[in-house]
Structure 1
Amino acid sequence: MSVKEFWEQAINLDAAIASHVAKLDNYRRLAMRIDGSRLEDHVSHSAPNEAPYAKWVERIVDTEKEVDEEIDKLVDVKIAISKFIDGVGNMRWQYILRSHYVMCLPWPQIADELGCSLSTVKRDHNKVLAYLEDEKTVNRYDPIKKLV
């Protein structure tokens, strides 16, 4: 796994969590919906086994468990990324890396906070990436291999 792929784990997990949260909102909305087909008189010889919202509640519980597991993993990944970034000697590089890969800030916002152009931030990012892709630098950091 390259250094950049390692860093992007946090961004990818953050996006996955956001997707699951959107799915949870949809399930909650469906669970609260009044099913119009139940309002009519039906001739039925057997009573329904469960409430119409039961399947949505079950999906909500399952999805909440998935979100909790992903959040735990995200915290672990962000801690590992932060420790890795702490090993970078240049404070500006640390700020750029931490802002983007730990705090998930977009590049333009990082550029604004640093008071420089977007191209300068991306150039600095490419410099630190080239520096860290050096085989010696990557191999000295064991947690990358532990998280894979």
Structure 2
Amino acid sequence: MTVTEYLEQIKTARQEVEYCRRKIDELHDIAMHISGCSFEEHNSPNRQTEARFVKYLDEIAEMQTELEQKREKYMALELEITHTLMSLPDPQERQVLELIFLHGLTTQETAKRMLLSTATVKRRKTDALLELEKMLHDEPQ
């Protein structure tokens, strides 16, 4: 795995957490808009004995469990990557990688935030990634 792939794991983990949150909200909306919601049993053999919204509530509970697992993975990964980035000796290089990978900013947004040119941000990012690559390969296994 390259350093870039390692750092981009946080983006994927963040997207997974956001997907779960949106899915839970969507399921809540669907469950609350089912007409004739009732917890009563139906005596007719042609009707469901369990209300449809109860099924959505069960699905919501499953998604909430999945969300918690993904949130824990995200937080552990964020802590690990933050620790890795702290080992960079240049604070500006570290800040560039933090803004791009941990906060999800683009190169242009990072340049604006740091009051640097886009070219400088790109150069610092490249330098930081090379430094991390060197540091990670020099560590004893």
- TM-score interval, smaller chain: 0.7 to 0.9
The answer (yes or no) to whether the contact 2:88–2:131 under 8 Å persists in 1 is no
| TM-score normalised according to structure 2 size | 0.85
* Distance in 2 (alpha carbons) for counterparts of 1:117 and 1:110: 9
* Distance in 2 (alpha carbons) for counterparts of 1:2 and 1:73: 20
* Distance in 2 (alpha carbons) for counterparts of 1:23 and 1:125: 34
| TM-score normalised according to structure 1 size | 0.81
The answer (yes or no) to whether the contact 1:85–1:94 under 8 Å persists in 2 is yes
Q: Secondary structure at the match of 2:27?
A: helix
Residue correspondence of structure 1 range 25-104 to structure 2 within 5 A? 25-35=25-35, 44-45=44-45, 48-104=48-104
RMSD across aligned C-alpha pairs, in angstroms?
2.2
Q: Give 1:56 shift.
A: 0.6
Structure 1: gaps (5+ residues)? 143-148
Identity %: 22
Deviations 1:52-94 (A, max 9, x none): 2011101101111111111111111011101111110001001
Q: Give 1:112 shift.
A: 0.8
Structure 2: gaps (5+ residues)? none
Letter of the 2:8 counterpart: E
Q: Which residue of 2 aligns with 1:145?
A: none
Q: Secondary structure at the match of 1:133?
A: helix
